[in-house]
Structure formats: C-alpha cells, structure tokens
A and B are shown apart, each in its own frame.
Chain A
Amino acid sequence: SAVISQKPSRDICQRGTSLTIQCQVDSQVTMMFWYRQQPGQSLTLIATANQGSEATYESGFVIDKFPISRPNLTFSTLTVSNMSPEDSSIYLCSVVGGVGTEAFFGQGTRLTVV
C-alpha cells in the first residue's frame, strides 16, 4: 500500500490568486494523478503527473490553469491558477500501486474561492 500526505487540507482563497497543493508519497511510484471533485459531482481526472516530463492533461484541463510539477518519484504539486469561485472543489492526489491497479488517495484539499 501507499500512504499519501496532501497539504493543505483546506484553504479559503481570494479570486485571482493561485494555490499550490502538495502531495507526498511514502514510497516511489511511477503513476501519480490529480483529481477534482466539484460539489455534488464525481471525481474527475485532471492530469497524470509524469516524472521527468510534462504532465498529461485530460480533456477540459490545461497546463496554464493547472500547472503540475513532479520533481521525483515521491512528490508532486498541483497549482490552481487565477482562481475563480468555480474552482471551489476538493482536489485529490492519487497513486496506483499495490496489487493490480488499486488506487490510493490523499485526504484531499478542500478549496473555497471567494
């Protein structure tokens, strides 16, 4: 299994500002992912954080809005840029490991943009 520490756990931010969320894993993992869960909605994959190369973004998500860093195999950051109230969501870091394709999740970052 993998233990994921994500911080901050929550934040309230002013519109137009940026927030960087950190994700630390207790073991080296190849695959790291960032998800968003908007209020009342499902988890939606934002991007795959690739070590040593640019992140791979899903349809509807762009690097300018959600820049991602992956400096090594245990750490990644997601920045939510130029925030608006529509960015208010829970953001989750995830890794895949263990048996088969089991996913492990951080506790999430609850972001409120005012």
Chain B
Amino acid sequence: AQRVTQPEKLLSVFKGAPVELKCNYSYSGSPELFWYVQYSRQRLQLLLRHISRESIKGFTADLNKGETSFHLKKPFAQEEDSAMYYCALSGPGTYKYIFGTGTRLKVLA
C-alpha cells in the first residue's frame, strides 16, 4: 500500500535544541519526497524536496531508500519554526500527493 507515516503528532523542543521530525513511506517505485509546512493562519507551502538536496530555513532532509525514510532535521530550533509539518510523496509523473498525518512542532522559549 502507498502510505506516508509520521509517527509523532506533537513534538516539543526548547529553542536552540536539535529537531528531527520523522517520516517513513511505503511506495512501489521511486517517488518524489517533500516536506510541506503550515504556519499559523497561513496556507500550506513547500519547505523542501528531496531532489533539490538543499537546506531551507536551516532544515535538511535526507532520503534513505533502504529505510524508506525522509526525516526532517534542524540543528538548532527557533521559535519561528513552530508550525505543522507534513511529509508527502508524489508518484513519478502523477502529480498526485499522498500526505502523512502531520507533526505539530512547538519550539519553547
């Protein structure tokens, strides 16, 4: 079955602490992996995608095909990182997304 799993509904960390939001996926083939973020009162927006292999707002994510994981990491959390984070995949050429249930990140002062 095609599925994206985010095991944590809520993750609370203190400012300056490292953050890791977990994402595992199940897909027969080679999907494209994404992290989307929704800040308070804003619409869902792209944070980063695996093919770009870039760091956005200090966040990085490495695709591990062996473990079928795409965890999101940041070495030092900031209060402005508090948001809802969704891991998602898209099948090659389909443009259809499968989303995880999301993890709410709270960064405490």
Residues of A within 8 A of B (CB): 4, 31, 33, 35, 40-45, 48, 58, 92, 94, 96, 100-108
Contacts and interface: CB of A to CB of B under 8 A. Distances in A.
A94 B51 CA distance: 21
Given A100-B32, A101-B32, A42 B46 contact: no
A102 to B, nearest CB: 5
B39 to A, nearest CB: 12
B97 A43 contact: yes
Interface residues of B, number: 20
Interface stretch (B22-30, B73-81, B98-106): B98-106
A43 B86 contact: yes
A45 B95 CA distance: 11
Interface string B27-55: 00000101010000001111001010000
Nearest to A48: B96
A101 B95 contact: yes
Interface of A is mostly: strand
Contacts of A40: 101
Contacts of B36: 103
Contacts of B34: 102-103
Contacts of A41: 101
Closest 3 CB pairs of A and B: A43-B99, A105-B44, A96-B95
A49 B51 CA distance: 27
A108 B86 CA distance: 16
A100 B49 contact: yes
Given A41-B101, A42-B99, A43-B97, A107 B43 contact: yes
